[in-house]
Amino acid sequence: MKRFMGFVNKEFLHIFRDFRTLIILFGIPAVQILLFGFVVSTDLKNAQIAVLDLSHDEVTRKLSGKIISSGFFDKAENLLNYDDVDRVLKSKKTKAVVIFEEDFGKRLIHNGKASVSIVSDGSEPNMATMTTNYLTAIISDFNRELSAGSAGSALLVQPEVRMFYNPSLKGQYMFVPGVITLIMILICALMTSITITREKEFGTMEVLLVSPLRPLQIILGKVIPYFILSFVDVILILLLSWLVFGLPVKGSILLLLVESMLYIFMSLSLGVLISTVAKNMQQAIFISLVGMMLPTILLSGFIFPIENMPDIYQWVSAIFPPRYFIVVIKNIMVKGTGFLFVWKETLILLLFTLAFIGFSIRNFKVRLQ
């Protein structure tokens, strides 16, 4: 028994001396519980809405104030006409528009009922459902207040819900763009992350070191074949999305393909950067899969709205490129917008690409010395 306890004590010492093992045992569970605890939430927070008030009476102002003061919504802007509805919903920030019909207060008093329209962005089905449910609940509570304060017949505000871009709230409109984003960054980063580490492990790095090729040429030579194959993969996914799920590309197919090419190149550059810092293929695979899959699912807005996350998680999500490509692909595929609506995200993806390439060349040069 004494020998056995000594053996157990030795194993404890080995574990405590290995920093990587301690991270796996204690760090990863702590990070996961913090991520899932705050990110995976069905509560609505700070969702931006716009208001189109065609009546401008006391009742509409009171109901608008009740919606904004609920703490679930922030008013983006006051709209002037119906033409502004599509514009603000394509702006990526506004999740819904509340429309009060003309003579809203008069209709409510004279007819006993009046209609308020809720137009939501159906390209994000989960967010659209939560937004309309919360707005409907607030309007129902407003109806109870009207009934309690009226001496005569009950007054009723009737919400009429409409979904733009995805009227039937099909889940494919959310999952297909998100899956494309996830698959591309995982496959591209994984494929290229093992390229240089494989050369080192197989002992063929010396051949590259003595070759007349420059570091940039070596990196591009590693990236180009995967770039072409990944682009073919994107076309295949888009065809399957159209033929199997009936998800057409409402915007410019050419713009979508160009944006996909940029995202692929960015992902491949990230994979090369990982391969220059990883010591072996196991490390490269671990960093590519664990380091990208969970943040892409949780922090990119793929499934859970970024607006509902605490501020610190919103800041962290800003350093993950998938967050921006999801905005691009949803706007082009589902909303049918053009480049003017996604140029900021495109510029950010381009900057990520240049940064990854620059760091890759720098790290590669260090290893040449």
Which amino acid appears at position 342 of this protein? Answer: V
Q: Over 80: is that where the pLDDT of 205 sits? A: no
User: Are both 323 and 197 inside the same structural domain?
Assistant: yes
pLDDT of residue 7: 65
| Residues of the domain holding 301 | 172-368
pLDDT category, 368, cuts 50, 70, 90?
A: very low
- Per-residue confidence (pLDDT) for residue 195, from 0 to 100: 74
Share of the chain above pLDDT 90, in %: 12
Per the structure, the count of domains in the chain is 3
C-alpha torsion sign, points 87, 91, 95, 98: negative
**Together in a domain, 159 and 245:** no
Written as six digits, the tokens of 349 are: 């993806």
Instruction: Give the rounded percent of residues in the chain with a pLDDT score beyond 70.
Output: 83
pLDDT 10s digits, 265-288: 999 888 888 887 877 777 788 777
- Encode 324-360: b = buried (16+ Cβ within 10 Å), e = exposed: bbbbbbbbbbbbebeeebbeebbebbeebbeebbebb
Residues 119 and 199 both lie in one domain: no
Residues 248-270 pLDDT 10s: 888 899 999 999 999 999 998 88
* Residue ranges with strand state E in the chain: 47-53, 73-79, 94-100, 113-121, 156-164
**279, 310: one domain:** yes
Q: What is the domain-level CATH number for residue 149?
A: 3.40.1710.10
Same domain, residue pair 23 and 158: no
Q: Is the pLDDT of residue 348 over 90?
A: yes
Q: Answer whether residue 325 shows pLDDT above 90.
A: yes
Whether residues 83 and 127 fall in one domain: yes
Same domain, yes or no: 114 and 214: no
Same domain, 157 and 246: no
Q: What value does the mean pLDDT take over residues 36-54?
A: 74
CB proximity list for 363: less than 8 A, separation 6 or greater: 273, 276, 277
Please check the confidence at residue 355 and state whether its pLDDT lies above 50.
yes
pLDDT of residue 307: 76
Same domain, 249 and 322: yes
Please give the pLDDT value at position 328. 92
Same domain, 64 and 18: no
Residue 363 and residue 291 share a domain: yes
Q: Are the C-beta atoms of 361 and 216 separated by less than 8 Å?
A: yes
Looking at residues 329-350, what average pLDDT do you find? 91
Domain-terminating residue out of 124, 139, 164: 164
Q: What is the pLDDT of residue 224?
A: 82
Regarding whether 130 and 17 lie in a shared domain, the answer is no
Contact indicator for 90, 124 with CB cutoff of 8 Å:
no
